[in-house]
Amino acid sequence: MSNRFIALLTIASVLAGRAAVAQPVESPSASPLPSTSPPSSSALPPAGVIPSGVSVDVTGSPGVTPDVLDTQILAALDQEIRPTLRPGAAVRYGPIVPWPLLPLATGSRTAVNVTVTIEGDSASTTVTGVTTATIDNVVVAPAVPNVLFLSDDPEYLQSDGLVFRGQVSAGRPVRLYYYHSDIGVPRDLDVVLTAAVPSRVQLIESAAGPDLDVMSVGHTVTRDLLQFEQANEGAVVDIEPGKPFIARHALMIQGELVAGAADVHVMSGGAVTVSVVASPAGGHPDAYLSGPRMPFDGHDRHGMFDLDGFGNIAQSYVVGGPDVAVHYGGRTRTPRSLDPSDPGHDYGDYGIVHRITFGLVNPGDTPQLVYLYEKPLAGPVRSSFLVDGQLKELGCVRMPQPYWIATYQVPAHSNGISTTVTMTDGGSFYPLEFGVTDTQPLPYTPPVGTPDGCSPNVASSPSPTAAQKK
């Protein structure tokens, strides 16, 4: 029995369970099944309320993948059900009809029936029912974030309170990047959206954790965000005054990390406030939303930064000439803080998407193979790259050696372009070198535990020191 499982058994909090996932169908809708609940044998109140139906608006082109549909269906159910749960209740979903999920094309609609069980305890009655989720893939033009909200201060949460707060205005999309570990007693971490007037928001989110393996958590956030942004995959949600919208909820125990990235695009209405809140396990974040921020940890890994133009890098490589390389994630070039009086910084470029373009020129008479590579410069690092739209994942490396990413054959007397989109991983060490060479790089990343690879201790250790990370 794992330590986390044992710890969770001792927490009197509201937990979300799941027996299955929701699936779309090709027909416009699925016939709802009648909701049922077992007759009450006492005067105990129900453990929660099951809605008859929920509406789920998603975005994605040419379609929304099954995993994203699954996530958004469950999130919509949580939004409706969690506020109704009594203390000690737990909700789980499944079975789902129909099955399996299929991608949902842009402009299409579908529906699924989801069985919901809210389990009570000695003070409430278990209820069971079937609710219908109607899913629409609505058309929303991609919106590149102009601003970065960085929430990594304090990185280690030792108390409850407001961790971060920032405002997103219409027409100026924002990316929130958060990275926090728990110290001490179990607690909840919530990302909350609030608004003074009704507002409609597109959310593109990637999330990982809670987990002790900080490098794995950081890598998952980056990899998923790159893919979601490429396809504009997300959800459209309505924020109502006086009704906080929980975009992310996670329960952390001692030493665990929760991280994520959320692109927030206000499509209509007024400004939306984005908050990160730590609260007692099983509690509610609402009480902390208007309170003061908890004290910083002294490393100043926080702030609001201007993303306009930052991260766009272009170089040219000529076959037969010297290698060409760029560096990112260092301290010499960082995004501009929108508050000159704020000492916060983003060393490491966490939450920043880089678009790196290499011109490939071959003036010679014969074709030539050239290689994209990465080279760690500061310690252990994992990476995800979208090379000309194709995902390339690299394992954990730490030695300053070039590791292969992709190969091009450049025809004679030709000019070409290679475009790579990437983002740094939380928990990894930077800067990183990314370049083009005609010398074959190391073809594989080393196995964990080898002299030039990452040890298991590195993968599960606390995040890097301030001198190397952030």
Q: Write the pLDDT tens digit of every residue in 236-265.
A: 999 999 999 999 999 999 999 999 999 999
Question: What is the per-residue pLDDT across 265-295, written as a single tens digit (0 to 9) for each?
Answer: 999 999 999 999 999 998 889 999 999 999 9
Pairing between β-strand 336-337 and β-strand 403-410 as defined by DSSP bridges: unpaired
The Cα-based distances of 245 to 60, 75, 315 in angstroms read: 22, 11, 43
Report how far residue 305's alpha carbon sits from residue 312's, in angstroms, rounded to the nearest whole number.
15
Question: What is the per-residue pLDDT across 81-106, written as a single tens digit (0 to 9) for each?
Answer: 999 999 889 999 988 788 887 999 99
Q: What is the mean pLDDT of residues 71-84?
A: 93
Question: What is the per-residue pLDDT across 114-125, written as a single tens digit (0 to 9) for each?
Answer: 999 999 988 999
Report how far residue 263's alpha carbon sits from residue 142's, in angstroms, rounded to the nearest whole number.
11
Hey, what are 20's tokens?
């299955």
| Res 302 pLDDT > 90 | yes
β-pair partners for 142? none
Report how far residue 193's alpha carbon sits from residue 201's, in angstroms, rounded to the nearest whole number.
10
Q: How far is CA 70 from the centre of its chain?
A: 15
Hey, what are 185's tokens?
């007693």
At 437, which amino acid appears? Answer: T
pLDDT at 456: 63
Report how far residue 95's alpha carbon sits from residue 311's, in angstroms, rounded to the nearest whole number.
45
Report how far residue 354's alpha carbon sits from residue 422's, in angstroms, rounded to the nearest whole number.
5
Report how far residue 320's alpha carbon sits from residue 437's, in angstroms, rounded to the nearest whole number.
10
Q: What is the mean pLDDT of residues 171-197?
A: 96
Pairing between β-strand 127-137 and β-strand 272-280 as defined by DSSP bridges: unpaired
Residues ≥6 apart with Cβ < 8 Å to 2: none
Instruction: Please choose, from the candidates 23, 129, 108, the residue with its C-alpha nearest in 3D space to the C-alpha of residue 70.
Output: 23
Report how far residue 54's alpha carbon sits from residue 80's, in angstroms, rounded to the nearest whole number.
8
pLDDT at 350: 97
Alpha helices per DSSP H over 256-405: none
Band (158; pLDDT cuts 50, 70, 90): very high
Instruction: Please choose, from the candidates 354, 353, 359, the residue with its C-alpha nearest in 3D space to the C-alpha of residue 436.
Output: 359
Residues ≥6 apart with Cβ < 8 Å to 151: 163, 164, 176, 177, 178, 179, 180, 276, 302
Report how far residue 412's alpha carbon sits from residue 452's, in angstroms, rounded to the nearest whole number.
37
Report how far residue 237's alpha carbon sits from residue 137's, in angstroms, rounded to the nearest whole number.
12
| Res 2 pLDDT > 80 | no
CB 81 within 8 A of CB 51: yes
Cis peptide before 98 (omega within 30 of 0): yes
pLDDT at 462: 33
Give the three-state DSSP class for 222: helix
Band (26; pLDDT cuts 50, 70, 90): very low
Apex CA 339: angle with CA 336 and CA 345, to 5°? 50
Cis peptide before 451 (omega within 30 of 0): no
To 10 degrees, the CA torsion angle through 272, 276, 280, 285?
0
Compare 460 and 42 and report the one with higher pLDDT. 42
pLDDT at 122: 87
Hey, what are 57's tokens?
């608006």
Pairing between β-strand 302-306 and β-strand 336-337 as defined by DSSP bridges: antiparallel
DSSP state of 142: -
Q: How far is CA 308 from the centre of its chain?
A: 21
Apex CA 422: angle with CA 420 and CA 424, to 5°? 150
Instruction: Please choose, from the candidates 267, 286, 269, the residue with its C-alpha nearest in 3D space to the C-alpha of residue 204.
Output: 267
Report how far residue 258's alpha carbon sits from residue 216's, in angstroms, rounded to the nearest whole number.
11
User: What residue segments make up the domains of the chain, in order of their start?
Assistant: 3-137, 147-305, 312-460
